Amino acid sequence: MNKKINIWQLTPPQILVLGFAVIIFIGAGLLMLPIASATGQSMSFIDALFTSVSATCVTGLVVVDTGSAYTTFGQIVIVSLIQIGGLGFMTMATLVAFVFRKKITLKERLVLQEALNQGSMEGIVRLIRKVIIYSLSIEAVAAVIFTIRFSFDFGFTRGLYYGIWHAVSMFNNAGFDLFGTVDAPFVSLTGYVGDFVVNFVAMMLIILGGIGFIVISDLIEFKSTKKLSLHSRVVLSMSGLLLVIGALGIFIFEFTNIRTLGSLDFGAKILSSFFQSTAARTAGPNTVDISALRQASQFLIVILMFIGASPGSTGGGIKTTTFTILISAIITMIRGKEDIVIFRYRLAKDRILKAITLSMMALFLVIIVTMILSTTEDSSFIKILFEVTSAFGTVGLTMGLTPELSTLGKVLICLTMFAGRLGTITLAYALQPKQEKELFRYPEGKITIG
């Protein structure tokens, strides 16, 4: 006699994977409807699926231009997927539970803990409330500013629509935009390269969405607590350092490149450099042509995309905290010390092992997908590497390869975006069989290293 599978018998990682997969296929189904396409004809399943994966995984890589290929209905479906994918479907489900005064069960708290990458369930529901309030508040303020600015270009009605749509997209680090047309698709924010208001608001949204909700909560409560957690201090310091290094590198490499920064005035050069450095941290919009950048700049962006945002955020990548632990481990080893110490706190060995595991799994994923696409796609290596890293980091920056991908290429990029959003370790936990406790330990062995 067959037993029905109870979803709540699944582990939290399995529930997350299944939940995101269900949302993706529902989104693909909606985008395949003729009412979603600007041509009035159903979009192919693979293109609809790719767009749905990209939106739900808050990436921004697209095979068709969002502004010109989709109707208002299709665009609303996409921005809804972005909001659900950015905050997490469990967060949205909790919002519904709050509205209907439904009690959050222990199993649901475990899934929320996994979704927000928290070490314990303590205060998880309170954190979810903060996530919802902070997110909607930040998006609302940005939407008002964007609406005022875009109203000068498109009129109030369209300006309001664009303001709300792009506030949601930018805060969730999605990289989708509506500025493309039939004659000029995939333009992103290149028309606003020197616009301080659009650039500054977009950067603030990307940064706030990328540092994570725990850090935002710490910053808001700093006035009363007068202290920041170790996590927040690491995230803020490393995020700031990477932002400055990225901007400085792009500024130097592209200063004389007439196709990117070379034709801009000095102020616009600085603004654009900081914007591209910010966007490389899992956001996706661009104010200059990414394919026109020099290879040094493109490779620098690949590194920034691989590192990505911070834990508990809307972004992807191996995360700033993981990168900090790796750098600290190298410094500790070189100095001959035993413990990794950050801001006068010693890190536990399991944190270090998790950081190394996550980084190596991410590196293997990027390498394997890049190697496969190098044989299936007719394009340069840097272009393929850039696209794969952008997919893994859920960034959305592109050198123009995505619309040219083969069906196999699209499937592989979809899987890479999915792995990047959920995390390689979460996927591994979801796919592995039930763990059994080891009843013995093997004798210690020694291997020569170096």
Q: Is 330 helix (H, G, I), strand (E, B) or coil?
A: helix
Q: What is the mean pLDDT of residues 166-193?
A: 91
CB 269 within 8 A of CB 356: no
Q: Which residues are 37's β-sheet partners?
A: 70
**pLDDT reported for residue 354:** 87
**pLDDT reported for residue 4:** 47
pLDDT confidence of 437, banded at 50, 70, 90? low
DSSP secondary structure string for all residues of 222-241: HHHH----HHHHHHHHHHHH
Does residue 436 have a pLDDT over 90? no
Q: Greatest CA separation found in the chain?
A: 74
> How far from 109 is each of 105, 123, 128, 235, CA to CA, in Å?
6, 10, 10, 25
> How far from 231 is each of 30, 126, 135, 296, CA to CA, in Å?
39, 18, 20, 31
**pLDDT reported for residue 138:** 93
Residue with tokens 């664009």, as numbered in its chain: 162
In which element (H, E) is residue 342 found? strand 341-342
What residues contact residue 8 under an 8 Å CB cut-off, 6+ apart? 15, 107
Dist. CA 63–CA 403, nearest whole Å:
4
> What pLDDT digit, counting tens, does each position of 244-286 carry?
999 999 999 999 999 999 999 999 999 999 999 999 988 889 9
User: Can you list the positions of beta strands (E) in 356-417?
Assistant: none
> What pLDDT digit, counting tens, does each position of 353-401 carry?
889 988 999 999 999 999 999 999 999 999 999 999 999 999 999 998 9
The alpha-helical segments, DSSP class H, found in 45-155 are 45-56, 66-69, 72-87, 89-99, 106-115, 124-154
> What pLDDT digit, counting tens, does each position of 400-428 carry?
899 999 999 999 999 999 998 887 766 66
What residues contact residue 364 under an 8 Å CB cut-off, 6+ apart? none
**pLDDT reported for residue 132:** 83
> What pLDDT digit, counting tens, does each position of 185-234 carry?
999 999 999 999 999 999 999 999 899 888 888 888 888 888 898 989 99
What residues contact residue 260 under an 8 Å CB cut-off, 6+ apart? 254, 272, 288, 289, 292, 293, 297
Q: What is the DSSP letter of 246?
A: H
> What pLDDT digit, counting tens, does each position of 18-55 carry?
888 999 999 999 999 999 999 999 999 999 999 999 99
pLDDT confidence of 443, banded at 50, 70, 90? confident
**pLDDT reported for residue 324:** 94
CB 216 within 8 A of CB 134: yes
pLDDT confidence of 115, banded at 50, 70, 90? low
In which element (H, E) is residue 346 found? strand 345-346
**pLDDT reported for residue 17:** 81
CB 392 within 8 A of CB 302: no
Residue with tokens 């104010």, as numbered in its chain: 287
**pLDDT reported for residue 19:** 82
In which element (H, E) is residue 363 found? helix 349-376
Does residue 1 have a pLDDT over 50? no
Q: Is 328 helix (H, G, I), strand (E, B) or coil?
A: helix
Dist. CA 154–CA 143, nearest whole Å:
15
Q: Is 345 helix (H, G, I), strand (E, B) or coil?
A: strand
Q: How many CB atoms lie within 10 A of CB 82?
A: 28
The alpha-helical segments, DSSP class H, found in 116-257 are 124-154, 156-171, 196-211, 213-225, 230-254
Closest CA to 385 of 299, 259, 444: 299
